[in-house]
Amino acid sequence: MQKNERRKNNALGPPDSVDCTIELTGSKSESNRALILNALSGGTVEVHNLSSAHDTVLMQRSLELAAESASSLSREQTPVLIDIGPAGTAMRFLSAYFAVSGTSAILTGTERMKQRPIGILVTALRELGARIDYTEKEGYPPLRFHTGFLQLSSVIRIKGDVSSQYLTALLLVAANMPHGLELQIEGELTSRPYVEMTLALLAECGIAHQWVGSTISIEPQEYSKAVINVEPDWSAASYWYSIAALSEKAEITLPWLKQNSLQGDSRISGIMKAFGVETSFYEGGIRITKAGQGSREGFFDLKDCPDLAQTVIVCSAALGHEATFTGLETLKIKETDRITALQNELSKIGVRLIEENELYRLDCSGLHFPPRVNIATYEDHRMAMAFAPLALKVPQVVIEEPMVVAKSYPSFWDDLKKAGFGIGL
């Protein structure tokens, strides 16, 4: 391996068994919502245990930069340039925040971010009264926001099956609009737990809502003084469940995770029972153990937790479980086309992910474990972390561009070392 390749690749070797305690960073999903609420409340809402994820760091810096720019000039001015890199959540949430707060800004990101559609959210914000221009391609970032938000409507209809982040972005700013918001959700709601998380955090800040049928209503309201204590990240926990499932023996303690969590990805504790992994909840967190082999087949609807999809699919494939999955529609517009990425990388261990309308089926008839496998990450943090546990089955797993994990779980490789994995950079 040449010197420049060492900087790009991460080679993993398996431990004999896994017995460790891992302290996970705060939830990125909770942190990003809490930061917007802190800004909208003028600091009345405090936030503790923020995530160390790169996306959250970018969100915090962007809000600080926008606040500094707004305080320096009161009139329409040269817009502040905000580059949120690959942070899709920040792009959606900041769009609503800049629009309703009347911030003069240009919001941009990576080349991949410029390929991720945002037209549904921009159209809704324009209908509400925001002044937003596309600076390059219609329907895609970068976006130019102008000062002066004059609310034109309080009723918005928006599709529920594209991205829950569009809905959350609107709900977060609803109480700050002069006439509030009546959000009418069209069709099936994707990732409902993320919307419920948003409303629960708003409630912690004194913001009431009504949810009747497919309509969520929020009146203009003042924030109550509140402290949001961010729970550790259940999405990050999912990789440890996969490690437990692929191990011969495992006992992993993850402090401070809650049984009654706001995070939809806490469903991983139930999903992984099918893979022989049991979860014990105690006052200080959870303990996960390998208790058996689980079933070899299964049906998993991941509509409410699509961020678990790569973890569960790769784990199923490595165990030879010919499972079927649904609810994966949003995966094609994430950091990469995650369906295509999974198909490409699973083929390296002889597994096919077959798409049949809205069902996805694993064919493990050709499953094999070569002495070494190189995994491409496609600039996607979840590809790196979902495939890393393969090191428990493949003698050497090489993860290309391993530092993409900084997007959501910066200490991932260090934590794997604590668990006994041999890692060479």
The residues annotated with a catalytic role in the active site are 307
Pairing of strands 143-145, 105-108: antiparallel
Q: How far apart are CA 169 and CA 197, in angstroms?
A: 12
Q: How far apart are CA 263 and CA 305, in angstroms?
A: 9
Contact status, residue 394 vs residue 349, Cβ threshold 8 Å: yes
- What contacts 38, CB < 8 A, 6 or more positions away? 45, 46, 47
- What contacts 264, CB < 8 A, 6 or more positions away? 191, 192, 193, 194, 196, 197, 304, 305
Q: Taking Cα atoms as reference points, which of 320, 342, 347, 323 lies closest to residue 271?
A: 323
Contact status, residue 288 vs residue 254, Cβ threshold 8 Å: yes
Which two structure tokens, joined as six digits, stand for 222?
Answer: 């003042």
Map residue 321 onto helix, strand or coil: coil
Q: Taking Cα atoms as reference points, which of 421, 330, 338 lies closest to residue 381?
A: 338
Q: Taking Cα atoms as reference points, which of 261, 241, 251 lies closest to residue 316?
A: 241
Nearest-10 Cα torsion for 203, 205, 208, 214 = -50
Which two structure tokens, joined as six digits, stand for 126?
Answer: 């324009």
Which two structure tokens, joined as six digits, stand for 179?
Answer: 């006439």
Q: Taking Cα atoms as reference points, which of 18, 17, 35 lies closest to residue 26?
A: 35
